[in-house]
Amino acid sequence: MAPPKSKKSLAVKKPQPAVTGGSSAPGRRPRKAASRSLYSPAEVHEIFRRFCVQRPEPKGELDYVNAFTLLVAVVLSAQATDAGVNKATKTLFAAADTPAKMLALGEAKVGDHIRTIGLWRNKAKNVIALSKALIDDYDGQVPQDRDELVKLPGVGRKTANVVLNVAFGQHTMAVDTHIFRIGNRIGLAPGKTPEEVEQGLLKVVPAEFMRHAHHWLILHGRYVCKARKPDCPACVIADICKSKEKTTDVPAPLVPIAPLDETFPVPA
């Protein structure tokens, strides 16, 4: 039997520990150092402890049945609502839930399923191209490695981080607009770019909270620390927060949030 291609072995690789700030691996693009967090380790721990009390098990809004369909759903969700993506993928994933079935379905039929989603033509192309790449290079498996994931058509760093975190439980941080804003607004992980904020958060967030940290931050930004006007009276970390924009030092009562509100938008 012919030896497997070198890339294939990555498909069955065990989850890797999160890449934290600091030195870069040989051959990789050097990362800029993120600015320092304004918070002590004890303060950061308390922030995430409270988020954890509010939502012990935050759930995503995108529907998927396996790592491949999650990858496709996240690719489709760029500039589209999660509800709109779910509507389209309900029939798409019923017809094709593996790269081989997706490739057999073909670009035209994939397009028929996702026609209601923005940029559907280009996304149908990417879904077929990434399905083919998974079959050709990874034995039809979704690689558990960010450097490999971002080689797939339509897959950027944020999409890769979502898949690694949600499907494989890796301690990645998918920085979307909410997380970028919070990182800078409250000085938790200041940075000029999403990658700088990502590196800053990977450095400061305690390992025990990394599994759900990006979910909690997205929810906090979506419902409380909102873009236009933060709702500080509803904020459970108002006493710890060091933002110049905050309007109160009194934290909101720390109580679990109803399950109905426990969903969050997966960063596109």
Nearest residue (CB) to ligand SF4, 231 versus 261 = 231
Q: How many CB atoms lie within 10 A of CB 101?
A: 13
Nearest residue (CB) to ligand SF4, 24 versus 239 = 239
Distance between CA atoms of 172 and 213, rounded to whole angstroms?
9
Nearest residue (CB) to ligand SF4, 202 versus 241 = 241
> Is residue 64 a contact partner of residue 73, using CB atoms and an 8 Å limit?
yes
The nearest distance, CB 152 to ligand SF4, in angstroms, is 35
Distance between CA atoms of 207 and 186, rounded to whole angstroms?
21
Size of the site for ligand SF4 (CB under 6 A): 14
User: Could you give the 3-state DSSP secondary structure of residue 96?
Assistant: coil
Nearest residue (CB) to ligand SF4, 87 versus 246 = 246
Largest CA distance in the chain: 68
Burial class (CB in 10 A: 0-12, 13-18, 19+), 201: buried
The nearest distance, CB 162 to ligand SF4, in angstroms, is 23
User: Could you give the 3-state DSSP secondary structure of residue 95?
Assistant: helix
Window 164 to 193, contacts with ligand SF4 (CB under 6 A): 185-186
Q: Is residue 225 a contact residue for ligand SF4 (CB under 6 A)?
A: yes
Distance between CA atoms of 30 and 199, rounded to whole angstroms?
12
Q: Is residue 126 a contact residue for ligand SF4 (CB under 6 A)?
A: no
For 56, list phi and psi in degrees, rounded to 5: -60, -35
Residue (of 168, 164, 135, 136) closest to 149 by Cα position: 164
Segment lying near ligand SF4 (by CB under 6 A), choices 10-18, 80-88, 110-118, 241-249: 241-249
Window 12 to 41, contacts with ligand SF4 (CB under 6 A): none
Nearest residue (CB) to ligand SF4, 29 versus 244 = 244
Strands 59-60 and 263-264, sheet pairing: parallel
Of the residues 158, 205, 243, 266, which one makes contact with ligand SF4 according to CB under 6 A? 243
x/- string (CB under 6 A) for ligand SF4, residues 52-91?
----------------------------------------
Catalytic amino acids? Answer: 158, 176
Q: Which residues of this protein are in contact with ligand SF4, per CB under 6 A?
A: 185-186, 224-225, 230-232, 235, 237-238, 241, 243, 245-246
